[in-house]
A and B are shown apart, each in its own frame.
Chain A
Amino acid sequence: MTTDALHDCVLGQSHGQSVLFVPKDRYIATLRKLVDDSYTMCVDLTAVDFLTHPGRTLPEAITPERFEIVVNLLSMRDRTRLRLRTQVSEADASIDSAFDLYPGTEAMEREVFDMFGITFNGHPDLTRILMPEDWDGHPLRKDYSQGRIPVQFKGSAS
């Protein structure tokens, strides 16, 4: 992976798309700089649980953690996209909320909280959004079992 730098963060390329690896402690500060760089729209915010795939390709300077917050930004002025990937550890599964910079992330952060159990500090209304209020666990985590319906075969012993 060829790397470069932007706002003191590692800038990589993935299939011709720009990916910025932002440390968790500078997540909001970097976003704030990117807003000034005309990345005015946060198109998407999601997360990935790399529990069963720890050996993914990352730039050397980045320490892989279990979770990754993936933010897709769009600059309408320059017609470019930029993707932010931030490593979030399992022990401290939380990150600052981008709500003040991009109010549209409110629902997306709730979805990530609901599906991955990552909390967003400073989020105004961090509750489950898709699952019922009393649901246990976070379905998109890799250790959340998918569940299956037992199939009984005709004539088999069990």
Chain B
Amino acid sequence: MSDLLSTVVSAGTFEGNQELRSRSELTAKEVMREVGAVLRMSEADVALLAEVEADPGEDQTMIINMGPQHPSTHGVLRLMLELKGETVLRCKPIIGYLHTGMEKTGESLTFMQGGTNVTRMDYASPLNNELVFSMATEKLLGIDGDIPERAVWMRMLLSEMNRMSSHLLFMASNGMDIGAVSMMLYGWREREEVLRFFQKVTGLRMNHNFIRPGGVAADLPAGWRDDVLEILEMLGPRLDEYDTLMTGQPIWRERLQGVGVITRDEAIALGATGPILRSTGLAWDLRRDMPYLNYKDVDFDVIVGSYGDAFDRYAIRLAEIRESMRIVRQILDKMPGGDYRIQNKKVTPPPRARIDESMEALIHHFKIFTEGFKVPEGEVYVAIESPRGEIGCYIASDGSATPYRMHVRAPSFVNVQALPHMMRGGLVADAVAVISSVDPVLGEVDR
């Protein structure tokens, strides 16, 4: 055992180099290999790059750090760039500055409490995180088909509103990164309206823990329909303003068109999803292609680009806000009455009023909130379309009230790995536009 332990420890303490190494420390073969790793390409593809890799000589290149505190890195993303003049030769994202061990934490929280944990991962679209966690738990419990219709439609409403707020935040941050600072104010302003709706429904602007296994935490408040209509009416003309301000504007197009190009095959090989994948012209949207909730009952378009550049990704997100508005309008028409959570005593705590009357209800309530509910042994992977791409939740349960292993497949984590590929050969000034167009949320990258 001690031998075993020492081998494990020695394997663990050999860390290698996280950082991008300078050319003088590397042999030509190692550079080649590192480029392959950094670009996430197979060796055959790297060999094709040989002519680009004509060794520029160490004195001609410079390795600089961008981040982890650079304002355009959207948090604490650190990029090491090897530059030759203004041109980016190599790039390596170094992540982990925001790692707080959320997957480990998830193992000690019950399925009831888990939502508070996952909602903090992608803090720009918290409701989608909760949704995927709840759907995975429900699948393990075997109640995924019994969720009341109203809860399902409410989940769709919140998910789409969250897509709108997340993309509006992208509009703001993208504008700021490119230098359209007034766009930042407009984007935040519109997002705030959506967050105000969330506050009314869930009690919080972010980190809601509202979508829970079995349904949602509370019914929609009185007057929600008017609030939603108000947002939709406000947002339509504002999006047209964005078009006037940015889409057709020559400087905006100059900054984004042809920047950070990725092809369809590269995106698939790298596992990139969401607007990055769709910008390459592949119409892949889990809402349409592998429908969950009631997305098969609503009518919407999957927006695709054609060049795979930063402008396509901007335009896709802008158009997706409009598609989400279209879906929300249909949800308004279709929202059924009825219960907002499953009436399964195992999962759902008794209503507050019952606690005053019944001793058993009080005990039951207490037990659900302290011990949680037991989830049968098994493992399951559920994926949905978050604003950033496919967010998945893998849960392995050992039959207790806490997940044995809870893993979240974070779209930003995978998409960030496509950065070196998109930046290669570009200008350092375009690096900012490329990071912005990937729209990473570092809380989710590092978890």
Is there an interface contact between B394 and A100, defined as CB atoms closer than 8 Å?
Answer: no
A59 at the interface (CB under 8 A from B): no
- A118 — nearest CB in chain B belongs to which residue? B11
| Binding-face segment, A23-31, A46-54, A149-157 | A46-54
Once the chains bind, are B95 and A130 in contact (CB under 8 Å)?
yes
Contact with B along A9-32 (1 / 0, CB 8 A): 000001101010000000000000
Shortest Cβ distance from residue B374 to the other chain A in the assembled complex, whole angstroms: 14
Q: A72-B381, A130-B99 are in contact. Are A103 and B41 (CB under 8 A)?
A: yes
**Which of A90, A124, A130, A137 has a CB less than 8 Å from the CB of B12?**
A137
Question: Does A42 belong to the interface (CB within 8 Å)?
Answer: yes
A102 touches B405 (CB 8 A): no
Q: Which of B38, B99, B271, B381 contacts A41 (CB 8 A)?
A: B271
Is A44 within 8 A of B4, CB to CB? no
**Residues of A close to B413: CB separation below 8 A:** 107, 111
Number of B residues whose C-beta is below 8 Å from A?
60
Within 8 A of B (CB), among A110-158: 111, 115, 117, 119, 124-140, 146
Task: Tell whether B438 is near chain A: CB-to-CB under 8 Å.
Answer: no
Instruction: Report A52-111 residues with CB < 8 Å from chain B CB.
Output: 52-53, 56-57, 70, 72, 76, 79, 81, 83, 90-91, 93, 99-100, 102-108, 111
Neighbouring B residues of A124 by C-beta, 8 Å: 33-34, 36-37
The CA of A129 and the CA of B94, in the complex, are separated in Å by 7
Contacts of A34 in B (CB 8 A): none
From A40, A79, A111, A127, B15 is in contact (CB under 8 Å) with A127
Interface residues of B in 20-66 (CB under 8 A from A): 33-34, 36-38, 40-43
B234 interface residue (CB < 8 Å to A): no
Residue B298 lies at the interface, judged by CB distance under 8 Å to chain A: no
Q: Which of chain B's residues has its CB closest to A128's CB? A: B15
B95 lies within 8 A of A104 (CB)? no
Per the 8 Å Cβ criterion, residues 266-320 of B in contact with A are: 268-273, 282, 284, 289-290
Q: Which B residues are in CB contact (< 8 Å) with A106?
A: 37, 40, 417
**Cα separation A7 to B290 with both chains bound (whole Å):** 25
Number of interface residues of A (CB under 8 A): 57
Centre residue among B271, B378, B380, B398 by max chain A CB count within 10 A = B271
A72 to B142, CA, bound (A): 21
Is B9 a contact of A136 with CB atoms below 8 Å? Answer: yes
B317 to chain A, nearest CB (A): 21
Contact B390 A103 (CB under 8 A): no
Chain B residues closer than 8 Å to A138, beta-carbon distance: 12
Tell me, rounded to whole Å, the shortest Cβ–Cβ distance linking A60 to chain B: 17
Among residues 70 to 103 in chain B, which have CB atoms less than 8 Å away from a CB atom of chain A? 95-96, 99, 101, 103
A43 touches B377 (CB 8 A): no
* In the bound complex, CA of A115 to CA of B141 (Å): 28
Check if B18 sits within 8 Å of A127, measured CB to CB. Answer: yes
Bound-state Cα–Cα, A70 to B95, Å: 23
Contact A104–B381 (Cβ < 8 Å): no
Task: Collect the chain B residues with CB atoms within 8 Å of residue A56's CB.
Answer: 377, 396, 398
**In-complex Cβ contact of B104 among A40, A81, A104, A146 (8 A):** A146
Q: Within 8 Å of chain A (Cβ to Cβ): is B139?
A: yes
Are B4 and A104 in touch, CB under 8 angstroms?
no
Complex contact B417–A79 (CB within 8 A): no
- Residues of B within 8 Å of A48, CB to CB, are 379, 396, 404-405
**Which residue of chain A has the shortest Cβ distance to B265 in the bound complex?**
A40
Q: How far is the CA of A151 from the CA of B209 in the complex (A)?
A: 27
In the docked arrangement, what's the CA distance between A14 and B379, Å?
7
B-side residues, CB < 8 A to A, are: 4, 8-9, 11-13, 15-18, 33-34, 36-38, 40-43, 95-96, 99, 101, 103-104, 108, 139-140, 142, 268-273, 282, 284, 289-290, 377-381, 383, 390, 392, 394, 396, 398, 404-405, 407, 409, 413-414, 416-417, 446-447
Closest 4 CB pairs of A and B: A104-B271, A124-B37, A127-B16, A125-B37
6 contacts between A and B (CB under 8 A): A15-B142, A49-B405, A103-B42, A107-B417, A130-B95, A140-B104
Assuming A103-B269, A104-B271, what are 12 further A-B pairs, CB within 8 angstroms? A15-B142, A17-B380, A53-B398, A83-B381, A105-B271, A106-B417, A107-B417, A117-B8, A124-B36, A129-B18, A130-B96, A139-B101
